[in-house]
Chain A
Amino acid sequence: VYSAAGGDDDEFRKAQGMVAEFAQEEGRPPRILVAKMGQDGHDRGARVISTAFADLGFDVDIGPLFQTPHEVAQFAVESDVHIVGVSSLAAGHKTLVPQLIEELRRFRRDDILVVVGGVIPPQDYEFLYQSGVAAIFGTGTPIPAAAQQILHALSRSLVGGPS
Protein backbone atom coordinates (compact mmCIF):
# COMPACT_ATOMS: atom_id res chain seq x y z
CA VAL A 1 0.00 0.00 0.00
CA TYR A 2 2.72 2.40 0.96
CA SER A 3 5.17 1.14 -1.62
CA ALA A 4 4.00 3.82 -4.04
CA ALA A 5 4.89 6.52 -1.54
CA GLY A 6 8.31 5.04 -0.85
CA GLY A 7 9.90 7.02 -3.64
CA ASP A 8 13.28 5.36 -3.38
CA ASP A 9 12.51 2.60 -5.85
CA ASP A 10 15.99 1.13 -6.13
CA GLU A 11 16.34 0.74 -2.39
CA PHE A 12 12.87 -0.76 -2.22
CA ARG A 13 13.63 -3.30 -4.92
CA LYS A 14 16.95 -4.13 -3.36
CA ALA A 15 15.19 -4.85 -0.08
CA GLN A 16 12.61 -7.00 -1.90
CA GLY A 17 15.42 -8.98 -3.48
CA MET A 18 17.02 -9.55 -0.10
CA VAL A 19 13.70 -10.74 1.31
CA ALA A 20 13.27 -13.22 -1.54
CA GLU A 21 16.79 -14.51 -1.06
CA PHE A 22 16.22 -14.88 2.66
CA ALA A 23 12.95 -16.76 2.08
CA GLN A 24 14.70 -19.15 -0.28
CA GLU A 25 17.36 -20.01 2.26
CA GLU A 26 15.23 -20.03 5.37
CA GLY A 27 12.23 -21.87 3.92
CA ARG A 28 9.89 -18.99 4.74
CA PRO A 29 9.86 -15.21 4.45
CA PRO A 30 11.25 -13.16 7.32
CA ARG A 31 8.55 -12.81 9.96
CA ILE A 32 8.23 -9.72 12.15
CA LEU A 33 5.91 -8.90 15.02
CA VAL A 34 5.08 -5.21 15.15
CA ALA A 35 4.32 -4.60 18.80
CA LYS A 36 2.91 -1.81 20.90
CA MET A 37 3.55 -1.93 24.63
CA GLY A 38 2.28 -0.06 27.64
CA GLN A 39 0.18 3.08 27.69
CA ASP A 40 0.89 3.98 24.10
CA GLY A 41 -2.08 3.98 21.76
CA HIS A 42 -0.41 5.65 18.79
CA ASP A 43 -0.60 2.85 16.27
CA ARG A 44 -0.61 4.74 12.99
CA GLY A 45 3.14 4.34 12.68
CA ALA A 46 2.88 0.65 13.46
CA ARG A 47 0.35 0.22 10.67
CA VAL A 48 2.46 2.11 8.15
CA ILE A 49 5.44 -0.06 9.05
CA SER A 50 3.34 -3.24 8.90
CA THR A 51 1.96 -2.62 5.43
CA ALA A 52 5.33 -1.48 4.10
CA PHE A 53 7.06 -4.60 5.41
CA ALA A 54 4.32 -6.82 3.96
CA ASP A 55 4.85 -5.06 0.62
CA LEU A 56 8.51 -5.95 0.89
CA GLY A 57 7.54 -9.61 1.33
CA PHE A 58 7.69 -9.99 5.11
CA ASP A 59 5.10 -11.95 7.06
CA VAL A 60 3.89 -9.34 9.51
CA ASP A 61 2.13 -10.14 12.79
CA ILE A 62 0.33 -7.15 14.22
CA GLY A 63 0.13 -7.18 17.99
CA PRO A 64 -2.76 -5.76 19.99
CA LEU A 65 -2.40 -2.36 21.66
CA PHE A 66 -1.39 -1.88 25.31
CA GLN A 67 0.49 -5.16 25.69
CA THR A 68 2.81 -6.06 28.53
CA PRO A 69 6.36 -7.17 27.70
CA HIS A 70 5.40 -10.70 28.76
CA GLU A 71 2.44 -10.76 26.37
CA VAL A 72 4.56 -9.49 23.50
CA ALA A 73 7.20 -12.12 24.21
CA GLN A 74 4.62 -14.91 24.31
CA PHE A 75 3.13 -13.66 21.04
CA ALA A 76 6.57 -13.56 19.41
CA VAL A 77 7.39 -17.05 20.65
CA GLU A 78 4.10 -18.62 19.53
CA SER A 79 4.32 -17.05 16.10
CA ASP A 80 8.03 -17.96 15.98
CA VAL A 81 8.97 -14.61 14.50
CA HIS A 82 12.51 -13.63 13.57
CA ILE A 83 12.18 -10.08 14.76
CA VAL A 84 10.10 -8.05 17.19
CA GLY A 85 9.74 -4.45 16.07
CA VAL A 86 8.68 -2.29 19.00
CA SER A 87 6.93 0.89 17.99
CA SER A 88 7.36 3.37 20.79
CA LEU A 89 5.90 6.86 20.78
CA ALA A 90 5.16 7.44 24.43
CA ALA A 91 8.55 7.28 26.10
CA GLY A 92 8.08 3.83 27.60
CA HIS A 93 11.08 2.37 25.78
CA LYS A 94 13.60 2.59 28.60
CA THR A 95 11.61 0.29 30.87
CA LEU A 96 9.52 -1.81 28.49
CA VAL A 97 12.15 -2.76 25.93
CA PRO A 98 14.67 -4.25 28.41
CA GLN A 99 11.78 -6.11 30.05
CA LEU A 100 10.76 -7.54 26.69
CA ILE A 101 14.28 -8.78 26.05
CA GLU A 102 14.32 -10.36 29.51
CA GLU A 103 10.97 -12.09 28.85
CA LEU A 104 12.27 -13.49 25.55
CA ARG A 105 15.26 -14.83 27.42
CA ARG A 106 12.90 -16.51 29.87
CA PHE A 107 11.25 -18.32 26.95
CA ARG A 108 14.79 -19.25 25.83
CA ARG A 109 14.20 -17.37 22.60
CA ASP A 110 16.62 -14.48 23.01
CA ASP A 111 17.81 -15.23 19.49
CA ILE A 112 14.73 -13.28 18.35
CA LEU A 113 16.03 -9.86 17.32
CA VAL A 114 14.49 -6.81 18.96
CA VAL A 115 14.46 -3.54 17.04
CA VAL A 116 12.90 -0.29 18.14
CA GLY A 117 11.32 2.43 16.07
CA GLY A 118 9.53 5.67 16.73
CA VAL A 119 10.30 8.61 18.92
CA ILE A 120 13.49 7.71 20.74
CA PRO A 121 15.70 10.51 22.07
CA PRO A 122 19.25 10.04 20.72
CA GLN A 123 20.73 10.03 24.22
CA ASP A 124 18.81 6.80 24.90
CA TYR A 125 20.32 4.92 21.96
CA GLU A 126 23.36 3.72 23.83
CA PHE A 127 21.25 2.50 26.76
CA LEU A 128 19.00 0.49 24.42
CA TYR A 129 21.96 -1.03 22.55
CA GLN A 130 23.46 -2.05 25.87
CA SER A 131 20.14 -3.71 26.77
CA GLY A 132 20.41 -5.90 23.68
CA VAL A 133 18.45 -3.98 21.07
CA ALA A 134 19.72 -4.83 17.59
CA ALA A 135 18.76 -1.62 15.84
CA ILE A 136 16.99 1.66 16.45
CA PHE A 137 15.11 3.48 13.73
CA GLY A 138 14.27 7.06 14.56
CA THR A 139 11.77 9.23 12.79
CA GLY A 140 12.66 9.79 9.17
CA THR A 141 14.33 6.41 8.60
CA PRO A 142 13.54 5.24 5.06
CA ILE A 143 11.68 1.93 5.44
CA PRO A 144 13.63 0.01 2.77
CA ALA A 145 16.87 0.99 4.50
CA ALA A 146 15.55 -0.24 7.82
CA ALA A 147 14.45 -3.52 6.24
CA GLN A 148 17.86 -4.03 4.66
CA GLN A 149 19.61 -3.43 7.95
CA ILE A 150 17.33 -5.92 9.71
CA LEU A 151 17.93 -8.56 7.05
CA HIS A 152 21.68 -8.09 7.30
CA ALA A 153 21.55 -8.69 11.03
CA LEU A 154 19.20 -11.62 10.57
CA SER A 155 21.05 -13.49 7.88
CA ARG A 156 24.09 -13.54 10.11
CA SER A 157 22.18 -15.11 12.99
CA LEU A 158 20.63 -17.91 10.96
CA VAL A 159 21.41 -21.56 11.08
CA GLY A 160 23.96 -22.35 8.45
CA GLY A 161 24.65 -18.70 7.74
CA PRO A 162 28.23 -17.44 7.58
CA SER A 163 29.54 -16.91 11.07
Chain B
Amino acid sequence: VIDANPTALHVCPALPSQPASVWDIRAKKRRETRSRAQFIDGILSGDRAILAQAITLIESSRAADRELAEQIVEVCLSSSGPSLRVGITGVPGAGKSSLIETLGRHLIDELDQNLAVLAIDPSSRLSGGSILGDKTRMGSLASSGKAFIRPSPSRGSFGGVAQHTREAILLCEAAGYRNILVETVGVGQSETAVHDMVDFFGLVLLAGAGDELQGIKRGVMELADVVVINKADGAGLPAAETTVAEANHALHFFPGSPSGWAPRAMACSAHTGRGIPELWNCALEHAAISRANGWFDRNRCEQRRRWLRASVEQGLGQLFLAHPLVHARKEAFEADVVAGRTTPFRAARALLEIYTGSGRNR
Protein backbone atom coordinates (compact mmCIF):
# COMPACT_ATOMS: atom_id res chain seq x y z
CA VAL B 1 0.00 0.00 0.00
CA ILE B 2 2.85 2.36 0.85
CA ASP B 3 4.23 3.86 -2.29
CA ALA B 4 7.77 3.58 -3.49
CA ASN B 5 8.68 7.16 -2.83
CA PRO B 6 8.28 7.51 0.93
CA THR B 7 7.80 11.22 1.37
CA ALA B 8 4.88 13.12 2.82
CA LEU B 9 5.50 16.12 0.65
CA HIS B 10 3.11 15.09 -2.07
CA VAL B 11 -0.52 14.09 -1.96
CA CYS B 12 -0.55 11.09 0.27
CA PRO B 13 -4.09 9.89 0.89
CA ALA B 14 -5.10 7.79 3.84
CA LEU B 15 -4.83 4.06 3.37
CA PRO B 16 -7.90 3.01 1.37
CA SER B 17 -8.99 0.70 4.13
CA GLN B 18 -7.48 0.58 7.57
CA PRO B 19 -6.39 -2.84 8.78
CA ALA B 20 -9.39 -4.34 10.54
CA SER B 21 -7.27 -5.39 13.48
CA VAL B 22 -6.50 -1.75 14.31
CA TRP B 23 -10.18 -0.91 14.65
CA ASP B 24 -10.84 -4.00 16.68
CA ILE B 25 -8.15 -3.11 19.19
CA ARG B 26 -9.65 0.33 19.70
CA ALA B 27 -13.20 -0.96 19.68
CA LYS B 28 -12.44 -3.16 22.65
CA LYS B 29 -11.71 -0.11 24.73
CA ARG B 30 -15.33 0.60 25.34
CA ARG B 31 -16.03 3.48 27.58
CA GLU B 32 -16.65 2.46 31.14
CA THR B 33 -20.18 3.06 32.29
CA ARG B 34 -19.91 4.65 35.67
CA SER B 35 -22.31 4.02 38.51
CA ARG B 36 -23.99 6.72 40.57
CA ALA B 37 -21.57 6.10 43.44
CA GLN B 38 -18.53 6.28 41.15
CA PHE B 39 -19.71 9.59 39.75
CA ILE B 40 -20.40 11.05 43.18
CA ASP B 41 -17.18 9.81 44.78
CA GLY B 42 -15.23 11.04 41.79
CA ILE B 43 -16.77 14.49 41.86
CA LEU B 44 -16.40 14.91 45.61
CA SER B 45 -12.75 13.87 45.44
CA GLY B 46 -12.16 16.41 42.69
CA ASP B 47 -11.38 13.91 39.90
CA ARG B 48 -11.16 16.04 36.77
CA ALA B 49 -12.05 13.27 34.34
CA ILE B 50 -15.14 12.17 36.28
CA LEU B 51 -16.33 15.76 36.80
CA ALA B 52 -16.01 16.26 33.04
CA GLN B 53 -17.98 13.10 32.31
CA ALA B 54 -20.65 14.08 34.82
CA ILE B 55 -21.11 17.39 33.01
CA THR B 56 -21.50 15.45 29.77
CA LEU B 57 -24.13 13.35 31.50
CA ILE B 58 -26.20 16.34 32.62
CA GLU B 59 -25.91 17.87 29.14
CA SER B 60 -27.00 14.65 27.48
CA SER B 61 -30.24 14.70 25.53
CA ARG B 62 -30.72 10.98 26.07
CA ALA B 63 -33.72 10.29 28.30
CA ALA B 64 -31.93 7.38 29.94
CA ASP B 65 -29.19 9.69 31.21
CA ARG B 66 -31.63 12.10 32.77
CA GLU B 67 -32.44 10.23 35.94
CA LEU B 68 -28.85 9.46 36.86
CA ALA B 69 -27.94 13.06 36.15
CA GLU B 70 -30.66 14.31 38.48
CA GLN B 71 -29.56 12.01 41.28
CA ILE B 72 -25.99 13.23 40.98
CA VAL B 73 -27.02 16.88 40.96
CA GLU B 74 -29.17 16.29 44.01
CA VAL B 75 -26.25 14.95 46.03
CA CYS B 76 -23.99 17.76 44.79
CA LEU B 77 -26.58 20.35 45.75
CA SER B 78 -26.14 19.51 49.41
CA SER B 79 -22.39 19.08 49.36
CA SER B 80 -21.29 22.21 47.58
CA GLY B 81 -19.19 24.46 49.75
CA PRO B 82 -19.03 28.25 49.89
CA SER B 83 -18.40 29.70 46.47
CA LEU B 84 -18.49 32.86 44.43
CA ARG B 85 -20.29 32.64 41.10
CA VAL B 86 -19.37 35.27 38.56
CA GLY B 87 -21.03 35.76 35.19
CA ILE B 88 -19.15 37.44 32.34
CA THR B 89 -20.95 38.64 29.25
CA GLY B 90 -20.31 41.13 26.48
CA VAL B 91 -20.29 41.75 22.77
CA PRO B 92 -18.42 39.23 20.59
CA GLY B 93 -14.75 40.13 20.44
CA ALA B 94 -14.86 42.25 23.59
CA GLY B 95 -12.21 39.99 25.08
CA LYS B 96 -14.27 37.97 27.54
CA SER B 97 -12.10 34.86 27.24
CA SER B 98 -8.83 36.77 27.47
CA LEU B 99 -10.13 38.64 30.49
CA ILE B 100 -10.99 35.36 32.20
CA GLU B 101 -7.51 34.05 31.36
CA THR B 102 -5.84 37.03 33.04
CA LEU B 103 -8.30 37.08 35.94
CA GLY B 104 -7.82 33.36 36.46
CA ARG B 105 -4.03 33.75 36.56
CA HIS B 106 -4.47 36.47 39.17
CA LEU B 107 -6.62 34.13 41.27
CA ILE B 108 -4.16 31.27 41.03
CA ASP B 109 -0.84 33.11 41.21
CA GLU B 110 -1.61 35.96 43.60
CA LEU B 111 -4.46 34.67 45.73
CA ASP B 112 -3.67 30.95 45.64
CA GLN B 113 -7.25 29.98 44.81
CA ASN B 114 -8.77 27.62 42.31
CA LEU B 115 -11.47 28.25 39.73
CA ALA B 116 -13.79 26.57 37.29
CA VAL B 117 -14.71 28.25 34.02
CA LEU B 118 -17.87 27.31 32.16
CA ALA B 119 -17.65 28.87 28.71
CA ILE B 120 -20.61 28.77 26.36
CA ASP B 121 -20.20 29.03 22.61
CA PRO B 122 -22.97 29.16 20.03
CA SER B 123 -24.15 26.04 18.17
CA SER B 124 -24.99 26.16 14.50
CA ARG B 125 -28.72 26.02 13.83
CA LEU B 126 -27.94 24.56 10.42
CA SER B 127 -25.59 21.69 11.16
CA GLY B 128 -26.08 21.31 14.91
CA GLY B 129 -22.32 21.47 15.27
CA SER B 130 -20.25 24.10 17.00
CA ILE B 131 -16.80 25.61 17.21
CA LEU B 132 -15.68 25.92 20.80
CA GLY B 133 -12.90 28.46 20.68
CA ASP B 134 -13.07 30.19 24.05
CA LYS B 135 -10.55 27.93 25.69
CA THR B 136 -8.11 28.59 22.87
CA ARG B 137 -7.62 32.01 24.41
CA MET B 138 -7.08 30.58 27.87
CA GLY B 139 -3.88 28.73 27.09
CA SER B 140 -2.05 29.21 30.36
CA LEU B 141 -5.18 28.70 32.44
CA ALA B 142 -6.00 25.54 30.50
CA SER B 143 -2.69 23.96 31.47
CA SER B 144 -2.97 24.92 35.13
CA GLY B 145 -3.74 22.23 37.65
CA LYS B 146 -5.87 24.68 39.64
CA ALA B 147 -8.31 25.54 36.89
CA PHE B 148 -11.04 23.44 35.34
CA ILE B 149 -12.34 24.82 32.05
CA ARG B 150 -15.34 23.38 30.31
CA PRO B 151 -16.54 24.85 27.03
CA SER B 152 -20.14 23.93 26.20
CA PRO B 153 -22.16 24.42 23.03
CA SER B 154 -25.33 26.50 23.50
CA ARG B 155 -27.35 23.84 21.66
CA GLY B 156 -30.86 24.59 20.44
CA SER B 157 -33.13 27.53 21.08
CA PHE B 158 -34.86 26.36 24.24
CA GLY B 159 -32.12 27.78 26.42
CA GLY B 160 -31.27 24.21 27.36
CA VAL B 161 -27.70 25.03 28.19
CA ALA B 162 -28.88 27.70 30.55
CA GLN B 163 -30.46 25.01 32.65
CA HIS B 164 -27.48 22.68 32.38
CA THR B 165 -25.06 25.48 33.17
CA ARG B 166 -26.75 25.81 36.55
CA GLU B 167 -26.25 22.13 37.16
CA ALA B 168 -22.66 22.29 35.97
CA ILE B 169 -22.01 25.08 38.47
CA LEU B 170 -23.23 22.84 41.28
CA LEU B 171 -21.03 19.95 40.14
CA CYS B 172 -17.95 22.18 40.00
CA GLU B 173 -18.69 23.46 43.49
CA ALA B 174 -19.08 19.94 44.79
CA ALA B 175 -15.71 19.13 43.21
CA GLY B 176 -14.16 21.82 45.38
CA TYR B 177 -13.94 24.81 43.06
CA ARG B 178 -14.48 27.99 45.07
CA ASN B 179 -14.71 30.46 42.21
CA ILE B 180 -17.01 29.74 39.28
CA LEU B 181 -16.77 31.91 36.19
CA VAL B 182 -19.49 31.59 33.58
CA GLU B 183 -18.75 33.07 30.17
CA THR B 184 -21.78 33.56 27.92
CA VAL B 185 -22.16 33.56 24.17
CA GLY B 186 -21.79 37.05 22.66
CA VAL B 187 -24.94 39.15 22.66
CA GLY B 188 -28.45 37.78 23.00
CA GLN B 189 -31.03 36.89 25.56
CA SER B 190 -28.72 34.48 27.31
CA GLU B 191 -27.13 37.32 29.24
CA THR B 192 -30.14 37.76 31.44
CA ALA B 193 -30.37 33.99 31.81
CA VAL B 194 -26.86 33.84 33.23
CA HIS B 195 -27.69 36.69 35.57
CA ASP B 196 -30.12 34.28 37.20
CA MET B 197 -27.29 31.90 38.08
CA VAL B 198 -24.54 34.07 39.46
CA ASP B 199 -23.79 36.27 42.45
CA PHE B 200 -21.85 38.89 40.54
CA PHE B 201 -22.41 39.91 36.97
CA GLY B 202 -19.82 41.61 34.76
CA LEU B 203 -20.45 43.18 31.38
CA VAL B 204 -17.42 43.54 29.10
CA LEU B 205 -17.49 46.34 26.56
CA LEU B 206 -15.04 48.09 24.30
CA ALA B 207 -14.20 51.74 24.09
CA GLY B 208 -16.07 53.66 21.42
CA ALA B 209 -19.21 51.58 21.79
CA GLY B 210 -21.09 54.56 23.17
CA ASP B 211 -24.12 54.05 20.99
CA GLU B 212 -24.57 50.56 22.25
CA LEU B 213 -24.16 51.73 25.81
CA GLN B 214 -27.11 54.04 25.45
CA GLY B 215 -29.16 51.77 23.26
CA ILE B 216 -29.47 48.02 23.01
CA LYS B 217 -27.19 47.20 25.88
CA ARG B 218 -29.35 49.08 28.32
CA GLY B 219 -31.31 45.95 29.14
CA VAL B 220 -28.16 44.12 30.10
CA MET B 221 -26.45 47.13 31.55
CA GLU B 222 -29.02 47.63 34.26
CA LEU B 223 -28.28 44.13 35.48
CA ALA B 224 -24.50 44.58 35.50
CA ASP B 225 -22.67 44.87 38.82
CA VAL B 226 -19.56 46.01 37.00
CA VAL B 227 -19.02 47.30 33.49
CA VAL B 228 -15.53 46.46 32.27
CA ILE B 229 -14.06 48.47 29.44
CA ASN B 230 -11.49 46.04 28.12
CA LYS B 231 -8.43 46.63 25.93
CA ALA B 232 -7.40 49.67 27.97
CA ASP B 233 -3.83 49.41 26.77
CA GLY B 234 -1.49 51.14 24.34
CA ALA B 235 -3.22 53.51 21.98
CA GLY B 236 -6.63 52.42 23.27
CA LEU B 237 -6.07 53.73 26.80
CA PRO B 238 -7.41 57.31 26.45
CA ALA B 239 -10.53 56.12 24.63
CA ALA B 240 -11.11 53.46 27.30
CA GLU B 241 -10.89 56.02 30.07
CA THR B 242 -13.37 58.29 28.31
CA THR B 243 -15.75 55.34 27.92
CA VAL B 244 -15.40 54.47 31.62
CA ALA B 245 -16.43 58.01 32.50
CA GLU B 246 -19.42 57.81 30.14
CA ALA B 247 -20.47 54.44 31.49
CA ASN B 248 -20.17 55.59 35.09
CA HIS B 249 -22.34 58.50 34.16
CA ALA B 250 -24.93 56.22 32.58
CA LEU B 251 -24.90 53.87 35.58
CA HIS B 252 -25.92 56.74 37.85
CA PHE B 253 -29.28 56.87 36.16
CA PHE B 254 -30.25 53.33 37.06
CA PRO B 255 -32.22 52.83 40.25
CA GLY B 256 -30.25 51.47 43.18
CA SER B 257 -29.74 47.72 43.33
CA PRO B 258 -31.43 45.73 46.12
CA SER B 259 -28.04 44.23 46.90
CA GLY B 260 -26.93 47.58 48.27
CA TRP B 261 -24.19 47.66 45.69
CA ALA B 262 -23.56 50.65 43.45
CA PRO B 263 -22.55 49.34 40.02
CA ARG B 264 -19.43 50.91 38.59
CA ALA B 265 -17.40 50.95 35.42
CA MET B 266 -13.69 50.30 35.23
CA ALA B 267 -10.94 50.10 32.64
CA CYS B 268 -9.09 46.79 32.31
CA SER B 269 -6.58 45.22 30.01
CA ALA B 270 -6.47 41.47 29.68
CA HIS B 271 -3.25 42.04 27.76
CA THR B 272 -1.23 44.02 30.32
CA GLY B 273 -3.14 42.96 33.43
CA ARG B 274 -4.13 46.53 34.20
CA GLY B 275 -7.21 46.76 36.41
CA ILE B 276 -7.47 43.00 36.91
CA PRO B 277 -6.79 42.93 40.69
CA GLU B 278 -9.21 45.85 41.07
CA LEU B 279 -11.84 43.93 39.10
CA TRP B 280 -11.58 40.94 41.41
CA ASN B 281 -11.59 43.16 44.49
CA CYS B 282 -14.77 44.63 43.14
CA ALA B 283 -16.35 41.16 43.08
CA LEU B 284 -15.12 40.46 46.62
CA GLU B 285 -16.39 43.79 47.90
CA HIS B 286 -19.77 43.11 46.31
CA ALA B 287 -19.89 39.71 47.99
CA ALA B 288 -18.94 41.19 51.36
CA ILE B 289 -21.60 43.90 51.21
CA SER B 290 -24.37 41.61 50.00
CA ARG B 291 -23.48 38.88 52.47
CA ALA B 292 -23.59 41.39 55.29
CA ASN B 293 -27.03 42.68 54.36
CA GLY B 294 -28.43 39.23 53.58
CA TRP B 295 -29.00 39.84 49.89
CA PHE B 296 -26.42 37.23 48.83
CA ASP B 297 -28.41 34.35 50.32
CA ARG B 298 -31.78 35.82 49.41
CA ASN B 299 -30.63 36.12 45.81
CA ARG B 300 -29.55 32.49 45.70
CA CYS B 301 -32.93 31.43 47.11
CA GLU B 302 -34.72 33.55 44.55
CA GLN B 303 -32.55 32.00 41.83
CA ARG B 304 -33.64 28.55 42.94
CA ARG B 305 -37.27 29.62 42.65
CA ARG B 306 -36.66 30.83 39.10
CA TRP B 307 -34.81 27.61 38.33
CA LEU B 308 -37.88 25.68 39.41
CA ARG B 309 -40.10 27.82 37.19
CA ALA B 310 -37.78 27.47 34.21
CA SER B 311 -37.67 23.71 34.70
CA VAL B 312 -41.46 23.52 34.80
CA GLU B 313 -41.71 25.59 31.63
CA GLN B 314 -39.20 23.43 29.86
CA GLY B 315 -40.89 20.27 31.04
CA LEU B 316 -44.26 21.56 29.85
CA GLY B 317 -42.83 22.22 26.42
CA GLN B 318 -41.47 18.68 26.24
CA LEU B 319 -44.75 17.17 27.52
CA PHE B 320 -46.67 19.15 24.94
CA LEU B 321 -44.52 17.96 22.05
CA ALA B 322 -44.58 14.38 23.30
CA HIS B 323 -48.38 14.36 23.61
CA PRO B 324 -49.65 11.76 21.12
CA LEU B 325 -52.61 13.81 19.82
CA VAL B 326 -50.53 16.94 19.50
CA HIS B 327 -47.81 14.94 17.80
CA ALA B 328 -50.31 13.43 15.38
CA ARG B 329 -51.92 16.69 14.38
CA LYS B 330 -49.03 19.12 14.61
CA GLU B 331 -47.96 18.68 11.02
CA ALA B 332 -51.44 19.26 9.64
CA PHE B 333 -51.69 22.52 11.55
CA GLU B 334 -48.22 23.51 10.42
CA ALA B 335 -49.18 22.86 6.80
CA ASP B 336 -52.31 24.99 7.23
CA VAL B 337 -50.27 27.82 8.65
CA VAL B 338 -47.67 27.57 5.90
CA ALA B 339 -50.37 27.60 3.23
CA GLY B 340 -52.06 30.58 4.83
CA ARG B 341 -55.31 28.70 5.57
CA THR B 342 -55.11 29.68 9.21
CA THR B 343 -53.09 32.06 11.36
CA PRO B 344 -50.24 30.84 13.57
CA PHE B 345 -52.10 32.24 16.55
CA ARG B 346 -55.29 30.31 15.88
CA ALA B 347 -53.40 27.10 15.13
CA ALA B 348 -51.44 27.42 18.36
CA ARG B 349 -54.65 27.87 20.34
CA ALA B 350 -56.23 24.83 18.68
CA LEU B 351 -53.16 22.71 19.49
CA LEU B 352 -53.13 23.88 23.09
CA GLU B 353 -56.82 23.03 23.37
CA ILE B 354 -56.10 19.54 22.11
CA TYR B 355 -53.41 19.25 24.76
CA THR B 356 -55.38 20.56 27.73
CA GLY B 357 -58.70 19.09 26.59
CA SER B 358 -57.47 15.52 26.51
CA GLY B 359 -55.59 16.16 29.73
CA ARG B 360 -58.90 16.81 31.49
CA ASN B 361 -60.55 13.74 30.02
CA ARG B 362 -57.95 11.44 31.45
Contact = CB atoms under 8 A, between A and B. Distances in A.
Q: Chain A contact residues: over half helix, strand or loop, or mixed?
A: mixed
B318 to A, nearest CB: 15
Nearest to A25: B62
Interface of B: 2-3, 6-15, 18-19, 22-23, 25-27, 29-33, 48-49, 52-53, 55-56, 59-62, 65, 123-124, 127-133, 135-139, 142-143, 148-151, 153
B128 A74 contact: no
Contact of A134 (B12, B26, B137): B26
Interface string A67-96: 110110011011110000000000000000
Nearest to A120: B8
B135 A61 contact: yes
A53 B129 contact: yes
18 contacts: A23-B128, A54-B127, A60-B132, A62-B133, A63-B135, A78-B150, A80-B52, A80-B53, A80-B56, A108-B49, A119-B9, A121-B8, A122-B8, A139-B13, A141-B13, A145-B14, A156-B23, A158-B31
A146 B15 CA distance: 11
B221 to A, nearest CB: 31
Interface residues of A, number: 66
A153 B49 contact: no
Contact of A78 (B25, B30, B65, B149): B149
A113 B26 contact: yes
Contact of B48 (A74, A122, A135): A74
B127 A56 contact: yes
B128 A20 contact: yes
Given A78-B149, A138-B12, A153-B23, A64 B142 contact: yes
A142 to B, nearest CB: 8
Interface string A35-73: 000000000000000110111111111111001101100
B135 A110 contact: no
A153 B79 CA distance: 39
B52 A78 contact: yes
Contacts of A158: 30-31
A146 to B, nearest CB: 7
Interface in A138-161: 138-141, 145-146, 149, 152-153, 156-159, 161
Contacts of A134: 22-23, 26
Contacts of B135: 61-64, 75, 79
Contacts of B27: 153, 156-157, 163
A61 B129 contact: no
B7 A59 contact: no
Given A26-B62, A110-B29, A156-B23, A61 B132 contact: yes
Contacts of B15: 125, 136
Contacts of A129: 19, 22
Nearest to A142: B13
A133 to B, nearest CB: 8
A73 B31 CA distance: 16
A109 to B, nearest CB: 5
A122 B52 contact: no
A-B pairs, top 7 by smallest CB distance, nearest first, are A27-B62, A27-B60, A140-B11, A138-B12, A64-B139, A156-B27, A54-B129
A58 B124 CA distance: 10
A127 interface: no
Contact of B14 (A64, A121, A135): A135
A74 B11 contact: no
Nearest to A123: B6
Contacts of B65: 27
Given A78-B52, A109-B49, A152-B23, A59 B130 contact: yes
Given A77-B49, A146-B14, A149-B18, A28 B59 contact: yes
B12 A140 contact: yes
